[in-house]
Structure 1
Amino acid sequence: MKKLLLIGVLGIGAVLGGCATTPQQPVEPVKFEKVYQIDGLNQAQIYDGARQWFATAFRSANAVIQYEDKATGSIIGKGNMPYRCSGFADCMTMTNGDRVDFTVRVDTKDGRMRVSYDNLTHYQPSHMSGNVRIQESNYPITERTSSAKITLDALNKSADEMAEKIKTQQKVNSNW
């Protein structure tokens, strides 16, 4: 009987000890990157089209754009979009002011454009929940975040719209 008790204690200890030493996998923030082939346009035309897209896609392109260099064809901006919840628990804790903050980068070359979004964070303003004041929060959107797929789909759509706008804008600029 003592042997069974000893084996049981050692077995439980081994299981618990194994669980305690299992390292957790790091959770990476989500990122988005896509390369577009834009045939027939040179780097300067694509850059100008991307700059025009910033001007129409955001309330103030000057407030969004943090860096731009026409010679290298790079534009870096900080923007945001409304947060889209996913699932019952996520939607129940959402407020009207929730948003996704991000950094957008556009790099241009002759016939090509790369669009990337990173530093994606879910911002929730301070608000009242019943009689309790909830402090504002700002946390990264990771692979485990319930709204990650919805957010990435929205960014993909935005990038596709930018590429389409650049392609059609050159025709509009020349046919007026």
Structure 2
Amino acid sequence: MKKMALFLVAALVLLTSCTTMGSEKASPDLLSMSVVIEVPGSSQDDLFVKANSWMVDTFKSAKSVIQYADKEAGIVKGKYVQKLPYGLLGDYMDVTSTVTVEIKEGKARVSFADASYSQTVTMYSMGGATSTKEGVVEDLKTITKVRADWEMLATTLKATLISQVKSW
């Protein structure tokens, strides 16, 4: 009886960890995304300050960081980490993406690419032993969730860029 219960727990853990990544591969055009944001009448300097501030406010995880910022070139680039649920036991995986904001007079382009995952799998049937699995996000199910977050980020950046600075 104990062996059967142990087998069922092990099978459940195995099946749960295997549901992390879907099997259907995403088309290459889904693995990145760019959005152009028009902000007529705004200077490159003003948009750069707002974009940089947006990244600081948005990248709240210690793993999410601004890696490069050049005001003259109008580029802010960083790594963004989001947590995605997977499996049946409420586990999460970290998905890291490169976020690039390019700025010109009156407009900005935000690009998302290079989504990779890192997940820690806990094997409860083996006394809670863990293993880490890492790779590039290529499956349709996961990249669809990642893109939903990218779209939300682009929307919040647009709101930040078109907002008027309130004087204090």
TM range (shorter): 0.7 to 0.9
Q: Which residue of 2 aligns with 1:120?
A: 115
Unaligned 5+ runs, structure 2: 1-24
Q: Normalization by structure 1: what TM-score?
A: 0.70
What is the CA deviation profile of residues 15-64 of structure 1, one whole-angstrom value per residue up to 9, with x for unaligned ones? xxxxxxxxxx9964711111111112111111100011011112279961
Distance 1:26 1:147, change over 3 A: closer
- Number of aligned residues: 142
Contact in 2 for aligned 1:36/1:114 (Cα 8 Å): yes
**Worse-superposed segment, 57-66 or 101-110:** 57-66
Alignment counterpart, residue 135 of structure 2, candidates 136, 139, 145:
139
Q: Which residue of 1 aligns with 2:36?
A: 35
Percent identity over paired residues? 22
Write 1 or 2 for the structure with the bigger share of strand: 2
Q: Which amino acid aligns with 1:140?
A: V
Q: Normalization by structure 2: what TM-score?
A: 0.73
Give RMSD over aligned pairs: 2.6
* Matched position secondary structure for 2:91: coil
Q: Which residue of 1 aligns with 2:162?
A: 167
Q: Which amino acid aligns with 1:92?
A: L
Write 1 or 2 for the structure with the bigger share of helix: 1
Q: CA deviation at 1:145?
A: 3.4
CA distance in 2, matches of 1:26, 1:52: 33
Unaligned 5+ runs, structure 1: 1-24, 86-90
Greater Rg by CA? 1
Q: Which residue of 2 aligns with 1:11?
A: none
